[in-house]
Structure 1
């Protein structure tokens, strides 16, 4: 059973490494419901990593048993292999270990580096920013460019530049602050981290960069949607769109530290169009179909790995 399992997992890994991310990145429906699309992207990433590592592991352990639990049990208890162990088995086991170590290592390294960068920037900013008298939990930074960003973490920091305050009216400022608070409240930096690590670990894989870009765009659209739900003006969509355009009109990325989430973080043009010409929301059946598909996608590699044991 293990050779068939390895082939099935390898086929699934190949599908999740290129065609599935390409189709999802080009699809139009994610903009109709960024939250559901983000769930789907997380499922694609997790299932893809489990599939490729599982395929290599299953092939490498094939001489020790007819199922993964049986083979792992035999190896861990020191039982000899029932079939000859060829060179390709050792190569597969080595690649599985290297790939798993690289993915997990890069993920951990990305988290450590990003956390340190955010802590360093937060400490520096706290020396120069001042609490806002009008916007609670918001700090003001003397900077001529219109800049707004938040630094997530255990002690989150939401910063507006003096240029942003001068550029926007009261409703637009409220929209920008609501957008940044959405990033912090929903921990969007954690949704981005696996794709940052995926792109860093597999830079030659086009799907890695495509997935990272798509998730960045969806995170910003999701923050826009959450912000809109909290705005009280007559035309909140136009208000937020004008704020995004004003912020994007400043020097690109000026004053935004690494690891921060900014209101002009990604796909500003597409987001403005989406705000002014909102697409129809996904229907309830479509939402549930996408979420069930994501759940099944996560379940499939696990079933393939464990099914031969039953």
Structure 2
């Protein structure tokens, strides 16, 4: 039973390592509902990790039992294997342990490193910024039009004097609403697993593709949240103009780890704002969310199924 489980998990891991992320990255529907697409990306990342580690673990422990709990218990208690233990079983066990430790370690390291970088940038900025009257933002004396936020336990929303001078009141409100959306919905946490995935598996093209797609989607999601809060006559044109203005002055000047209004693919975001597609139908949204849920459930079910049949 366990060899079949290992094969099923291996096939699922292969699909989630390349074809599925590639198809989702090329699809047009995520731009119509970034929030649902972000849920799908998180499901792909988590299910992919569980599948590859599970496949290796199941194959490595298969000589010790007919289900993973039984095989694991026999292996831990040093009971004799029920079948011949070959070298590939030991290799699979080792790879499963190494991959699990690497993925978790890189995720933790990315979190610590990013948090430290953000804290350092926040401390430096606090020395040179000043509060904006009536706002929970900070003003940075800089001629370029820049706007960004540094998330974390003590978030910081920064506007440059250049962007305050260049934008009108409605456009400035749109920029602030966009950055507050990042902070309120903790978009940095949605990006973190894909930063870690790219660092842990740099040779995997899907890792770069997934990171870039999620980065664009969090910006689109922040755009959508900002639009819902703006009271100006033409919020889409207002936000698009603000994004273009910020993109013209932010090149390379946003601190590492920050989320900026000019982040992601600016051209795609502006086209999406000025020529919006129809919202994703309720049936399609439900199907995508059910697909994400199924992805999350399949690896655990495959791992425990031999123990209950």
TM-score between the two structures when normalised by the length of structure 2? 0.99
Name the CA distance, whole Å, in 2 between partners of 1:279 and 1:160.
31
CA–CA separation in structure 1 for the residues paired with 2:78 and 2:62: 15
Q: SS where residue 158 of structure 1 aligns?
A: strand
> 1:251 deviation in Å?
4.8
Match of 1:164 in 2: 163
| Equivalence for 2:27 | 27
Does the 8 Å contact 2:64/2:75 carry over to 1?
yes
1:7-57, Cα deviation, whole Å (9 max, x unpaired): 000000000000000000000000000000000000000000000000000
Query: How far apart in 2 are the matches of 1:226 and 1:78?
Result: 56
Partner of 1:117: 117
Aligned counterparts of 2:269 and 2:82: Cα–Cα separation in 1? 59
Counterpart CA distance in 1 for 2:182 and 2:17 is 28
- Secondary structure at the residue paired with 1:149? strand
Classify the secondary structure of the residue corresponding to 2:165. helix
What is the TM-score with the length of structure 1 in the denominator? Answer: 0.98
Q: Give the aligned length.
A: 308
- Structure 1 runs, 4 residues or longer, greater than 3 Å off: none
Residue 82 of structure 1 deviates from its aligned partner by 1.2
Q: Which residue is 1:147 aligned to?
A: 146
Q: Kindly report which structure 2 residues correspond to 1:1-310, keeping only aligned pairs within 5 A, or say none.
A: 1-134=1-134, 136-254=135-253, 256-310=254-308
Structure 2: distance between partners of 1:81 and 1:203:
37
Report if the CA contact (8 A) 2:146-2:250 is conserved: no
- Alpha-carbon distance between aligned partners in 1 of 2:123 and 2:171, rounded to the nearest angstrom: 28
- 1:78 to partner: Cα distance: 2.3
Distance 2:295 2:250 in 1: 42
Deviations 1:166-206 (A, max 9, x none): 11000000000000000000000000000000001001100
Q: 1: CA distance between counterparts of 2:257 and 2:244? A: 22
Report the CA distance shift for 1:291/1:263 in structure 2 as closer, same or farther (over 3 A): same
Q: Distance in 1 between matches of 2:295 and 2:202?
A: 24
> 1:233 offset after TM fit, Å?
0.2
